[in-house]
Amino acid sequence: MDTPPTTPTPLESSEPGAARPVRHLEFKAALLLVFTLMLVAGSVLYLLYARGFFEPTQSLVLVADDAEGVVVGMDMTFSGFPIGRVRRVELSEAGNVRILVDVPRKDAHWLRTSSVFTLVRGLVGGTAIRAFSGVLSDPPLPAGAVRPALRGDATAELPRVLATAREVLENISAMTREEAALRRTLANVQEVTDKLKGPGGAMGVLFGNEADSKKLMAALDRTNAVLARIDQLAARVDGMAAKADTQVFGPQGALDETRATVRELQRLLGDARASLGKVDAVLLEAQGIGANVRGATADLGTLRGEVEANLRKVEGMINELNRKWPFSRDTEVKLP
């Protein structure tokens, strides 16, 4: 016996089964099922493709001394591009870490026998395995090759940095201790500041007492007076300079006269130069005269020799006369 139908509540109205019968229900349901199956199957296939299930790979074994940060599934990159994926991490018999990496064959040509592999741990992000191939003309890396992984750890510097930071903090702590010099210095600075605020001000701080600061103030006053006088003197010197300017550089100044004098001097020099030219001519004539005199002088030597010979002859003659003419005592010979 069925219960009589009642007014549906909002919940009843929201029930999916309350909708009107659907035409071609079985066909639509089958389509929906096929759609779902295709969706799931496509997702699974894409996942397998993304995981490299359909891609042939070759293995590479990296040997490291520490596997920290290395996880299964992480990438091995070459120039920033992922070319391999870690398949397994295990301990070798020697205690080293063996990292088995699957490299797709289409990317394996980037790895050469001379390739270098590093295990870098950055400050941000996880550990990264990187491959570097310097010489791409070297032979390709064979499958199953075992290579060492060099470790570069950015956090390895952290202990040193922390130790340095600790030293710095200890120094700061020592500087800020109660009996530290810095604290005493600050106290002194505070005291000086108080003195600066006092009646003596900076003078009191510099001289330590008021009398000396007053002396300095008096000296300053006198200095100011001297400076005022120097100012007046400077003003007078300025006036004198102005007058000197007028005298020297004015229209009737010394400079003009000097210029005229220089012109006159130049003219005189020109005259002197002409006179000197004449003197040169005179000298040339004098040189000619000198040459003549030199020739005359040579003739005079000959003449002198002759005169001397004549004189000697005359002397001989006089001597002869004197000998022959004894009465006369005057032996002086009167030359013409």
Partner 1 sequence: MISFVLARKARRDGRQRLPFARWPIIPAMSAPPFSFSRLGPAAAAPVRWLAGWWRIVFFGACIIVLAGSPSSYGRHARAALVRHLYQDTAPILWWFTALCALLTLVITRIVVITAFSYGLSQYALEMVIRVLVLELIPLTAALFVALRCTIPNGAALAQLRRDGRFDVWRGRGLDPVVTEVLPRALAGIYATVTLAALSCVIALVLAYLAVYGWTFAGVAGYTHVFGHVFNPSVALIFVLKTLFFSLAVSIIPMASGLYDIESHGSRESAALQGLVRMFAVLLVLESASLAANYA
Residue ranges in contact with partner 1 by CB under 8 A: 1-3, 5, 9, 11-12, 14-19, 22, 25-26, 28-29, 32-33, 35-36, 39-40, 42-43, 46-47, 49-52, 72-73, 75, 82, 85, 124-125
Q: At closest approach, how far in Å is the CB of 97 from partner 1? A: 20
Q: Positive or negative, the Cα torsion across 159, 161, 167, 173?
A: negative
CB of 87 to partner 1, least distance (A): 11
> Of 71 and 296, which has the nearer Cβ to partner 1?
71
Are 65 and 94 within 8 A, CB to CB? no
Distance CA 35, CA 206 (A): 96
Relative orientation angle of helices 254-324 and 210-249, to the nearest 10 degrees: 70
| Cβ contact 83:131 at 8 Å | yes
Whichever of 89 and 248 has its CB closer to partner 1, that residue is 89
Task: Tell me how far, at minimum, the Cβ of 166 lies from partner 1, in Å.
Answer: 30
Task: Return the number of other C-beta atoms located less than 10 Å from residue 133's C-beta.
Answer: 19
Strand partners, 150: 118
To partner 1, the closest distance from the beta carbon of 125 in angstroms equals 8
Q: How far is the CB of 201 from partner 1 (least distance, A)?
A: 55
271-275, long-range: CB < 8 A, 24+ apart? none
Q: Which is nearer to partner 1, 15 or 210 (CB)?
A: 15
What gap in Å lies between CA 218 and CA 224, rounded to an integer? 10
Sort residue 119 into left (φ over 0), alpha (ψ -120 to 50) or beta.
Answer: beta
Q: Which one, 82 or 239, has the nearer CB to partner 1?
A: 82
Smallest gap from Cβ 169 to partner 1, in A, equals 29
